[in-house]
């Protein structure tokens, strides 16, 4: 699509991007505070307030683990979709795609142990408020739906 409005700038940049690395350190006495892995992340915040995070996780301890995940939430921090791929000891373990709707979530996965699995899960208590993809960079995102000033377990909705 071509920009035909001469009053609009030629570029459209309404998003922001943050990149970072989280270091995983050991607390074992023989390896105290030594790096044992890392998680690279990129968070894109769109002009409408939605966000996508892409992560690449590497855990060096045997068996080594590599995980790639892409997770998107809307402006209200509600899960939209997620993709995850897992490798353990440099061997493929599985990959999966998850799509969240108001009243159900569906997934398509393929694992080395189970083959292809298709699932559809109905939400009994309304839309999912969070989704765990095991990225450390996403852990704090789960609290977007809680009013922490009221103590534990107080939902904003």
> For residue 95, what pLDDT is reported?
98
Residue with tokens 């993809």: 133
> For residue 136, what pLDDT is reported?
87
Q: Are 112 and 127 in contact (CB under 8 A)?
A: no
> For residue 31, what pLDDT is reported?
92
Run means of pLDDT, 10 residues per run, the chain, 157 residues: 74 88 94 95 96 96 96 96 97 98 97 97 92 86 80 64
> For residue 98, what pLDDT is reported?
97
Q: What global pTM score does this model have?
A: 0.84
**Phi, psi angle pair for 144, to nearest 5°:** -60, -25
Tokens, residue 78: 């509600």
Query: 40 burial class (0-12, 13-18, 19+ CB within 10 angstroms)?
Result: middle
SS3 label, residue 1: coil
Q: How many residues are there in the chain?
A: 157
> For residue 140, what pLDDT is reported?
82
DSSP letter string over 10-78?
S-----EEEEEEEEEE--SGGGTT-EEEEEEEEEEE-TTS-EEEEEEEEE-SSSPEEEEEEEEE-TT--
């Amino acid at each position: 699509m071509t920009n035909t409005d001469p009053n609009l700038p030629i570029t459209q940049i309404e998003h922001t991007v943050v990149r970072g690395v989280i270091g995983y350190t050991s607390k074992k006495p023989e390896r105290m505070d030594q790096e044992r892995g890392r998680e690279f992340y990129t968070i894109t915040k769109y002009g409408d307030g939605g966000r996508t995070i892409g992560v690449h996780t590497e855990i060096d301890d045997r068996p080594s683990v590599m995980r790639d995940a892409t997770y998107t939430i809307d402006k209200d921090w509600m899960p939209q979709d997620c993709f995850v791929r897992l490798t353990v000891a440099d061997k493929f373990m599985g990959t999966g795609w998850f799509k969240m709707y108001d009243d159900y979530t569906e997934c398509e996965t393929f694992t080395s142990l189970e083959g292809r699995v298709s699932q559809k899960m109905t939400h009994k208590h309304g839309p999912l408020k969070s989704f765990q993809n095991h990225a450390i960079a996403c852990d704090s995102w789960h609290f977007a739906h809680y009013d922490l000033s009221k103590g534990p377990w107080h939902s904003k909705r």
